[in-house]
Copies of this chain bind each other. A is one copy, B any other.
Amino acid sequence: MSALEIFAVNGIGEVRPGDDLASLILDSDADLADRDCLVITQKVVSKAENRIVEVDPDDPLSHKPLVERESVRVLRRRGDLIISETSHGFVCANAGIDLSNVERGQAALLPIDSDRSARGIRDRLKARAGVDVGVVVSDTFGRPWRRGVTDIAIGCAGIAAIVDLRGSTDTFGRELKVTEVAAVDEIAAAADLVMGKAQGIPAAIVRGLREEWFRPSCVVGEIVRPPAEDLFR
């Protein structure tokens, strides 16, 4: 049986503004090898990049003005819930801002350029440890029509956001019509299975992905669907 392995990364500890995530990962129990894919959560990337803002700790809605500021378009409102589009083009609740796993009185905004965040981590891992890995920055989004949240990719580097099966054939030799698989979203979802929101584990390693998936790529350019293509905006 061919296998994929997913390891939780332990020992990263609390991340602070200015921290070098690549160094924290290399000092953890992560045992990175070439062609591994490192998945790291948005929350620690936002902390390292100082995308933390102060909010009133006694007002559970104090981050709502930030949501308006971080949104380029509001799609839906219901009560306190805002579904909006961020400057990156992500459509999510509260512009991706949340209050979990940050200190009381703080809110974490999304990284300004989450693909650049992934590239920076990948480049520093290569420079410091000589390893050639893919990096995915993951976040937790809800979905329309289905209950429950799943982790998806908001940034990537060195690993294909979209795997294009165009031109390949199914087992009956017919050309495949559904051709583009969002590989980084599946990688982010897989990594969440070992991380777990409540365990405070902010990174995982996915080992055994197909070699041809390792290439320069980005989430915003490849996965964000332009409004003109979109039936639900």
Q: Identify the stretch in A16-24, A114-122, A127-135, A142-150 within 8 Å (CB) of chain B at 4 or more residues.
A: A142-150
User: Do B200 and A192 touch (CB < 8 A)?
Assistant: no
Q: Which residues of A contact B (CB under 8 A)?
A: 1-10, 14, 29-31, 75-76, 78, 83, 85, 89-91, 98-104, 140, 143-152, 161-162, 165, 168-172, 174, 176-178, 180-183, 185-187, 189-190, 192-194, 196-198, 200, 205-206, 208-210, 222-225, 229-233
In the bound complex, do residue B194 and residue A3 qualify as a contact, i.e. CB atoms below 8 Å apart?
yes
Tell me, in angstroms, the Cα distance from A229 to B78 when the chains sit together.
10
Residues of B within 8 A of A14 (CB): 171
Chain B residue contacts of A231, Cβ below 8 A: 75-76, 78, 83, 144
Q: How far is the CB of A41 from chain B (nearest CB, A)?
A: 12
Known: A1-B31, A148-B181, A170-B200. 4 other contacts (CB 8 A): A76-B231, A147-B223, A151-B186, A186-B190
Q: Contact check: which of B2, B5, B30, B172 meets A103 at CB < 8 Å?
A: B172
Q: Judge whether A182 and B10 touch: CB under 8 Å.
A: no
Report the minimal beta-carbon distance from A104 to chain B, rounded to whole angstroms.
Answer: 7
Output the least CB separation between A160 and chain B (Å): 10
Stoichiometry, copies per complex: 2
Interface contact A104-B172, CB-CB below 8 Å: yes
Contact assessment for B182 and A91 in the assembled complex, using a CB-CB cutoff below 8 Å: no
Contact A180 B147 (CB under 8 A): yes
What is the CA–CA distance of A215 and B187 in the complex, to the nearest angstrom? 25
Q: Which of A89, A140, A192 has the most CB of B within 10 A?
A: A192
Q: Which chain B positions have C-beta within 8 A of A98?
A: 177-178
Q: Can you list 7 A-B pairs with a CB-CB distance of less than 8 A?
A: A144-B225, A144-B233, A145-B230, A147-B180, A170-B197, A178-B197, A194-B208
**Chain B residues near A200 (CB, 8 Å)?**
170-171
Distance of A75 Cα from B230 Cα, bound (Å): 13
Contact A170 B225 (CB under 8 A): no
What residues of B have a CB within 8 angstroms of the CB of A182 in the complex?
143, 146-150
